[in-house]
Structure 1
Amino acid sequence: MISMRYHIVSLTAVFLALAVGVVLGSTAISGRLLSGLTDDNSALGEEVADLRAERTGLTAKLAEADRFAKSIGPLAVKGTLAERTVVLVTTADAEPGERDALAELLRASGATVTGEVQLTDSFTDPRKADQLRDLVARLQPAGTQLPTGADPGTRAGGLLGAVLLVNKDTGQPQSGPDEAAAALTGLASAGFVTVSPGLRAAQLAVVLTGGAVEGDSAGDRAAVVGRFATQLDRSGAGVVLAGGDGSAEGSGAVGVVRADTAATSVLSTVDNAGTAAGRVVVVLALREQLEGKSGRYGVGGNAESAAPGVVG
């Protein structure tokens, strides 16, 4: 007769055998799996090394091309803006080195740079939009009219357009010296702008910004700059909005403008102003603005061509 103890011993033996089989089987599978993973890891390592080498090579080529563009740039733009005046408007994230290089190239084109206005972080801060909008209404020079747009970027563009740009038909300032000084002082005192000494009104303007706007309210901040530049363009003979790497994205000022067909019909944009070649394009785009034309230039996917007159 088979006892209960026999059943227990038999079942224990079966389970022990199963356990041993699972361990042995998994060990064999794990060995094959680890061997496969090791091979995959080696292949990926080689691919990463190849990509790094390719990136290094491309970076070197881009640096060489930028050096060439920098050396030939003054010759490429010589006389393009002869006897023209240009004012620079920069945002808080614009690189000082890029601003200085652009100003130098503008002078090489024959233009006179009449000064710079820098828009501070407060200018694009959504929390200060009402304050900026109300201040603009109080500072508007007599005889000029605010645009109908209610957003602070458009309103500020209307005010600074009347202060920074001359009348495109007569070449005369749109506001008196006292009113212009009061407007700039008011904006500066409130922390919205900083103004270079001796600033004078000009025929043309470049709004120079950084790349993609980051952080909270990035889209709103980019929209303020885009709408400001668009309205500024409507106030004078021509404006170019120029940005660096990433500026043509949805969170960049250039990208905001390019998504608005009404804006692109008047305002020219350049999305690679951080390069020597891009700065040449900025000067050429300013010249095109004088002819009543506009375009989307650079290397972004929403650019129409690399430069004015280039099919691409």
Structure 2
Amino acid sequence: MISLRYHIVSITAVFLALAVGVVMGSTAISGRLLSGLSDDNSALGREVAALQAQRNGLDARLADADRFATSVGPLAVKGQLAERTVVLVTTADAKPNDRDALAELLRAAGATVTGELQLTESFADPDKADQLLNLVARLQPAGTKLPTAADPGTRAGGLLGTLLLLRKDDNQPQATADELAAGLGGLSSAGFVKPGEGLRPAQLAVVLTGGAVAGDSAADRAAVVARFATQLDRSGAGAVLAGGDRSAEGTGPVGVVRADTAATSVLSTVDNLDTAAGRVVTVLALREQVEGKAGRYGVAGNAEAPAPGTAG
């Protein structure tokens, strides 16, 4: 007769066997799983290494292209701006190296750089918009009119266009020397601009900015610079807005201008100023402005061509 003790011992043996089987099976499965994961990790490592090598190769090619553009740039722009004068306007985030390299290239093109005006962080600060508007109204030279638009970028562009650019028709100053000194002095004292030494009016202007704008009030700040540059263009023989904004969203001033068909019809933009090729394109775009044409140049998705005359 089978006793209760026999049943208990039998059931215990069954569960013990199951437990041993589970442990042994899981050990085998874990080994295969770990082996598979190790293989996957090795494959991913090889893929990452291949991509890194590819990137290094592309970086080297870009560096070579930039050196080539630097060497041939002066030849490519030679004589394009002969007997023309150009004033540089830089935002607070513009890179000094880009400014210096562009100024040198402008001189190679035959242009005379008449000086630099730097726009400070306060210039595009939304919290100081009313202060800038009031100051611009007080400093506007007698006999000249401000734009009808009420935003600070356009209004400041109207004032500084009068002070910094010569009349398109006769290449004569739009303001007297005293009005120029008073206007720049007033804006400088309020912390909106920093005029360079010996700054004087020119026929053409280049507005240099940085890249994409981020942070609080980024869109408002970019819009102020974009509208300023557009109005500056309308105040003289032509202007180019150049920066390093190649982002898909185009959040910098260049992107803001390109989203406005009215602005792009008059103001040229370049999105790769931080490269030697982009600086050459900036000079060529400025030459195109003299001819009454405008375009969107560079390598961003919202550019129409790499350079003037290369569409399609």
TM-score interval for Structure 1 and Structure 2 normalised by the shorter chain: over 0.9
Q: Tell whether the 8 Å contact from 1:247 to 1:253 is kept in structure 2 after alignment.
A: no
Q: SS of the residue aligned with 1:194?
A: strand
User: TM-score, normalization: structure 1?
Assistant: 0.93
Q: Distance in 2 between matches of 1:8 and 1:296?
A: 87
Distance 1:307 1:22, change over 3 A: same
Q: Tell me which residue corresponds to 1:256.
A: 256
Q: Distance in 2 between matches of 1:13 and 1:51?
A: 56
Q: Distance in 2 between matches of 1:124 and 1:152?
A: 8
Q: What is the CA-CA distance between 1:146 and the residue it aligns to?
A: 1.4
Q: Tell whether the 8 Å contact from 1:93 to 1:210 is kept in structure 2 after alignment.
A: yes
Distance 1:201 1:16, change over 3 A: farther
Q: Tell me which residue corresponds to 1:198.
A: 198
Q: What is the CA-CA distance between 1:31 and the residue it aligns to?
A: 2.0
* Unmatched runs of 5 consecutive residues or more in structure 1: none
For the aligned residue pairs, the C-alpha RMSD in angstroms reads 2.0
Q: Distance in 1 between matches of 2:185 and 2:257?
A: 29
Q: Tell me which residue corresponds to 1:286.
A: 286
CA displacement 1:50-74 (0-9 Å, x = unmatched): 1111111111111111111111111
Deviates most, 28-37 or 58-67: 28-37
User: TM-score, normalization: structure 2?
Assistant: 0.93
Q: Tell me which residue corresponds to 1:47.
A: 47
Q: What is the CA-CA distance between 1:27 and the residue it aligns to?
A: 2.8
Q: Tell whether the 8 Å contact from 1:257 to 1:264 is kept in structure 2 after alignment.
A: yes
Q: Tell whether the 8 Å contact from 1:248 to 1:255 is kept in structure 2 after alignment.
A: no
Q: Tell whether the 8 Å contact from 1:245 to 1:274 is kept in structure 2 after alignment.
A: no
Q: What is the CA-CA distance between 1:214 and the residue it aligns to?
A: 2.2
Q: Tell me which residue corresponds to 2:177.
A: 177
Are 1:27 and 2:19 counterparts? no
Q: Tell whether the 8 Å contact from 1:248 to 1:271 is kept in structure 2 after alignment.
A: no
Which residue identity is paired with 2:127? Answer: R
Q: Distance in 2 between matches of 1:159 and 1:68?
A: 40
Q: Distance in 2 between matches of 1:248 and 1:221?
A: 19
Are 1:158 and 2:154 counterparts? no
Distance 1:79 1:16, change over 3 A: same
CA displacement 1:199-258 (0-9 Å, x = unmatched): 111110000111111222222211111111111111111000000253674321111111
Aligned length: 311
Q: Tell me which residue corresponds to 1:270.
A: 270
Which residue identity is paired with 1:185? Answer: G
CA displacement 1:93-112 (0-9 Å, x = unmatched): 11111101100110111111
Q: What is the CA-CA distance between 1:10 and the residue it aligns to?
A: 7.4
